[in-house]
Amino acid sequence: MEPATRRVALIGLGLVGEALARRLVAARFEVIGWDVAAARRDALRAHGVAMAASALDAVRGVGHVVLALPDTRALVAVLEDILPALERDSIVIDTGTNDPDRVVEWAARLAQRGVSLLDVPLSGSSEQIGKGEAVAMGGGEKRAWDAAATLIAAITPNAFLLGASGSGSRAKLATNLLLGLNRAALAEALVVAEALRLDIAQFLALVRRTPAYSGAVDAKGEKMRTRDYAPQSRIRQHRKDLALMLQAGASAGCALPLTRAHAMLLDAAIAAGDGDLDNAAIIETIRRWPMPAPLNEA
């Protein structure tokens, strides 16, 4: 990697952005950061991230730009903002879970200016990202992917280029759909295990040895058991992802009945004030869920 490309602009310093910043600094990248929240800017300075005066200033003279933004609206707003300062042959790496159609539109728009956009969403909590355990699913031109390979490898060794622009974003929606349902199923199983007076620690150990096991058991089982909802990923953010999944499903002619039920659970969680808690807190929604009428088994 050429010296100029060791300078990376990182825009968005929330849970994911902070995890990315720590990994890039540890890999000896010079990271120039920006976030709309002053508190996030102050927090990241302590971890070796230089702060720009604005998102526009952050990307000046930088070969790679990493975006860790909360939603598609924020992505579009930032791209509009930084567009005048993006240099020809620079590479923008979008790590968020965003609308694939908008990502494709922006990839074409940036290509007209000689700038490459890779959609590289990450599967994993901020804790898993920080440990290098996330999985990166990429969409975009192979030339740009290869040029950004050193930076992507610094984020995670588990990286896959899946196809043209938008492919990573589409894969992330399908992956997050399964991930969310696994969490919800685990939560419901723990609620019934509690009600049946099973020892939950023993039950989790048992599940790890059965075909019922999923990664959600390791990622969220203990948090659910101990009611530790300090956010590694937030209910409100996953609900945003579900909206994109349902939109994509409708466009593709898929009904997604389980995802619709999951969305209902998350809506109830947000209404109860749990939106900014970790996704493990879905178990509290299931604990609170009213009993339906008895099933007619006749």
pLDDT digits (tens, 9 = 90+) for 129-153: 999 999 999 999 999 999 999 999 9
Average pLDDT on 235-245 reads: 96
| Contact criterion met (CB below 8 Å) for 34 and 9 | yes
The pLDDT, as a whole number, for residue 294 is 77
Question: Of all residues in the chain, what percent carry a pLDDT higher than 90?
Answer: 93
pLDDT, one tens digit per residue, over 80-102 is 999 999 999 999 999 999 999 99
Q: Around Cβ 16, how many Cβ atoms within 10 Å?
A: 26
Domains for the chain: give ranges and CATH numbers: 3-165 (3.40.50.720), 171-288 (1.10.1040.10)
| Contact criterion met (CB below 8 Å) for 19 and 129 | yes
The pLDDT, as a whole number, for residue 292 is 86
Query: Containing H/E element for 146?
Result: helix 142-147
pLDDT, one tens digit per residue, over 216-233 is 999 999 999 999 999 999
Q: How confident is the model at residue 263 (pLDDT cuts 50, 70, 90)?
A: very high
Indicate if the pLDDT at residue 5 is higher than 80. Answer: no
